[in-house]
Structure 1
Amino acid sequence: MIVKLRIDDRLLHGQVAYSWKSALSYNAIVIASDAAAADEFRKGVIKMCCPEGVKLATRSVEEAAKLINNPKLKDMKVFAICGSPADANGLLKKLEEKPVVNLGGIQMADGKKLFSKAVYVDEEDLRNLDEIASAGYTIEVQEVPSTAMAKYADLRKKF
């Protein structure tokens, strides 16, 4: 069972791993990122950020979907993490569940504009997020559990 799907371009780092562990009580993390799955160094860094006792899998979006849909994971509390709205949109289209989506962190880059604290988006990001929202998913914008949560739809109206 997916307890939450997070979009964070840094994927897994200490702040995310530990603050969300307390809030969600997950026992497995699935990173869905084609780029990270193909990068052994990055997978090693991600592994160092994983809390002790938590199972971790870094897979391509396609392979992450297969893993999450595996009946053996139904009894586990899975925290899924994607590096972009495009990856999240691709993953959600392949899942049997409809988890809450947490938009948590996208760094500033050329062509991106401030959407909310710690979240910068461009037109492609917005297209993917709008598509996720249109498919009936709840999108919450929240950096960590201790910060205020905003609804994507409310922020989108103002953007």
Structure 2
Amino acid sequence: MSDVNLLLTRIDNRLIHGQVGVTWVNHIGANLLIVANDKVSEDEVQQNLMDMVLPDVIQTRYFSLQKTIDVIHKASPRQKIFLVVRDVHDALKLKEGGVPIDFINVGNLHYEEGKKQISSTVSVDEKDIEAFKRLDELGVELDLRRVPSERGRNIIDLL
């Protein structure tokens, strides 16, 4: 088992797009972007669309949550990993499954009926709030910010 070189975990319901694929990848120096999501891990069309956003030097993997839990500890130390998940529930499942997540960038959770907006890009419901609080209890730092140049805020303070 190697030490996982997990640079950043981001919650973004858009998964890979320009902000993630260019701005964040360059800012943290990642060379491997893992999307951990059960649906996307089986959707080649969506994977190909997301790959088009990324520079050629970035490798991508599209894993189910369980596969991410099973293989993340086998990563080479050369792999500088940027882990992207669609929502807080996926992040919590990964953390509880043993993925070494200590810091999460909360970037984007779209508004839907029944959710309250807590920032310009993040809306949550009661189940989301419970999951964020559980991650906080597990010692995960929860930093709300869209782009690296923005000043981050602890999402727990906004719930």
Q: What TM-score does the superposition give when structure 2 sets the normalisation length?
A: 0.91
Tell me if 1:84 matches 2:87.
yes
Tell me if 1:114 matches 2:154.
no
User: Aligned residue pairs: how many?
Assistant: 155
Mapped to 1, the partners of 2:76 and 2:103 lie a distance apart of 17
2:14 and 2:108 in contact (8 A); partners too: yes
1:3 and 1:99 in contact (8 A); partners too: no
Q: What TM-score does the superposition give when structure 1 sets the normalisation length?
A: 0.91
Write the mapping of 1:57-136 to structure 2, written as runs, cut at 5 A. 57-70=61-74, 72-136=75-139
1:148 to 147, 151, 158: 151
Q: Which has the higher helix share?
A: 1
Deviations 1:43-97 (A, max 9, x none): 1111112222111001111112223221x33332100000010001011122352
Mapped to 1, the partners of 2:96 and 2:33 lie a distance apart of 19
SS of the equivalent of 2:148 reads coil
Mapped to 2, the partners of 1:119 and 1:39 lie a distance apart of 25
106 and 96 in structure 1: CA distance in 2 versus 1, 3 angstrom threshold: closer
Q: What's the counterpart of residue 56 of structure 1? A: 60
Tell me if 1:19 matches 2:23.
yes
27 and 99 in structure 1: CA distance in 2 versus 1, 3 angstrom threshold: farther
SS of the equivalent of 1:63 reads helix
Mapped to 1, the partners of 2:78 and 2:98 lie a distance apart of 16
146 and 39 in structure 1: CA distance in 2 versus 1, 3 angstrom threshold: same
**CA offset at residue 117 of structure 1?**
2.0
- In structure 2, list runs of 5 or more residues that go unmatched: none
2:9 and 2:101 in contact (8 A); partners too: no
**CA offset at residue 32 of structure 1?**
0.4
Detail structure 1 runs of 4+ shifted over 6 Å in the superposition. none
Mapped to 1, the partners of 2:111 and 2:105 lie a distance apart of 18
RMSD: 1.3
Tell me if 1:32 matches 2:75.
no
Q: Which moved more, 1:144-153 or 1:91-100?
A: 91-100
Of all paired residues, the percent bearing the same amino acid is 26
